[in-house]
Chain A
Amino acid sequence: MQKNLEFWKRFCRNKGAVVGLLIIVAVILMAIFAPLLYPDSPWKLVQRPFIPPMELDGYWFGTDTLGRDIGAGLVHGARVSLLVGLTSTVVALLIGVTLGAFAGYYGGLVDDGVMRFTELFQTVPNFALAIVLVAIMQPSVESVILAIGIVSWPPVARLVRGEFLSLRSREFVQASMVLGQSNARIILTQILPNTLSPVIVMTSLMVATAILLESALSFLGLGDPDVMSWGYMIGAARTVLRQAWWMSFFPGVMILLTVLALNLVGEGLNDAMNPRLARKSR
């Protein structure tokens, strides 16, 4: 309890992190209350096409090529962008941290085996692999999440493995080994906590990357066609960039804000977990 309080105190000392957290909370609330804010489906053709923002009451964000409300799209899009971003990152972390820890800690054959496996995934350009996976599984929210998760874990594995490799030869780990602590205990209590901060920094980046990957897939026509996402909106706006800047501008801003917020929060967490560093940098 006391520890939690300390953590929060340190987290809140980073103003950027607090702002980030507020934005995230706002986006999450938006996603939850989307049906109340905009009861109609974001796909519904509600007005004439290409209404610029602030021109017509009730359509503050303008309308798109077919006369759909951009505002509705933004609010409903928060749901799937967050869902895809978070879920696929969890998938990637589960795979990546596990494999990376094993490889880096045990070294030798285990390391070889895992790293060869990682290299398989890593050596194929991951964006292309994501497209192939989505194409095979048919584009849908699930296949997009899975594909992004599957292509995103190798950096985590390599990072964690690199940290393990480097930390393993450190004195404090060597000492624990000499003292005869179990491997699991050393991994979980000695090494893993020390790798957390780069992993956390990476996680926040990964959620962002996942959101960007999803938009890139939609850009190429491989998103879930039944779900309105920010990525889809930018993809659809691309051909009319000159005529309707607002169509890509607003979803772009949403992505930017969300990604920015995620990063700020990540940094706040980093500060809160690495008190020495945090004190130094303030």
Chain B
Amino acid sequence: MSIVIRNVRPYGEDAVDLVVKHGVIIDIVPAGTGTANAEYRFDGEVVLPGLVDLHTHLREPGREDAETIRSGTQAAALGGFTCVHAMANTEPVADTAGDVELVWRKGAEAGYCDVRPVGAVTAGLRGERLAELGAMADSAAQVRVFSDDGKCVSDALLMRRALEYVKAFDGVVAQHSQEPRLTDGAQMNEGAMSARLGLAGWPAVAEEAIIARDVLLAEHVGSRLHVCHLSTAGSVEIIRWAKARGIDVTAEATPHHLALTEDLVATYDPVFKVNPPLRTEADVEALRAALADGTIDIVATDHAPHPREAKDCEWAAAAMGMLGLETALSVVIETMVDTGRLTWREVAERMSTAPARIGRVADQGRPIAVGEPANLCIVDPRTDWVVDPARLASRSRNTPFAARTMRGRVVATFLRGQATVLNGVLQ
């Protein structure tokens, strides 16, 4: 059985029909000329390779009240994603082959997008000894990304060993860069705003010092390093320097760090509490510029669902984190595409090709071309929509974009030729 995906514009270029059979693109022909057993009609919307998220918290096992693998992958599909990397800070922590296989299998059963488990770097995220990285790499889940995300691998020796060890199976350590002693009790970005609001500061140097150390370690042992949720202008400078030096480092920025500033903390509404914290206007601008010039390689959501009570409280008592999967592409369109800073091909690179490459996911992030898997995200970049937290597919409601008008709507998502989303509705 073949299908034709009619009248879509790959990377925003000329309109075509995509003919798909057995999950693979078998022909690309001028719009209106493709033939197949069934068709999906579109209206000249942009088609991108299915988006790949390198940084997703699906919360299962352990916190199914906040999110499940099923609800989280549904949110992902609605956001245009065909693959997500599930972070390891679950309960129990994903630090053994059995744990990561469970997540991988449940993702496959849900079927909304591919779930690639991230393995913990250290056992129990305790930062004391390495988890069984090789066993996770060799498991059915084929883990290639390792992270203690939520916590920093702050011990320099342990970080060095992790970077070295994962070379054996082409893995990468994705570091949550946060010097713990400099951020004890930290609540928000440290600066004029934290001084005024009386909230304990999370200084930029606590991120930058770890990144600087880690790129030097990666250079020394010849490993690759991935920097999670980079948030400061100073971090951008360090990554730029490291890349110029030939160090094998990649970096991600989150949609919220591209769109929002610490000014929102003045509301004391914990929906804006996140780690690393929202920074200044100058940091936001530096991140956008770095994403445009490739210093920052990818956008990753750091989708972090939390139950309502974790945010419906005073600032200091609230959990850190924001939803991201269903709003990520809209944020990128508004901040990067509409401003002329990224072309659609570059959006595909930052949100699909590069994250798949960093995660070593062979059949994701592939170009829209004959012979390639039909993992596709079809987006109407000219339609606005308003975020209603109650209507999100995520089990949680902690979006920082509630009631905001967002740019661009995902109309359809295809996973190996199967529609997971059509007309903006989950299939």
Q: Do A and B bind each other?
A: no
Residue numbers of A with Cβ under 8 A of B are none
B residues at A contact (CB < 8 Å):
none
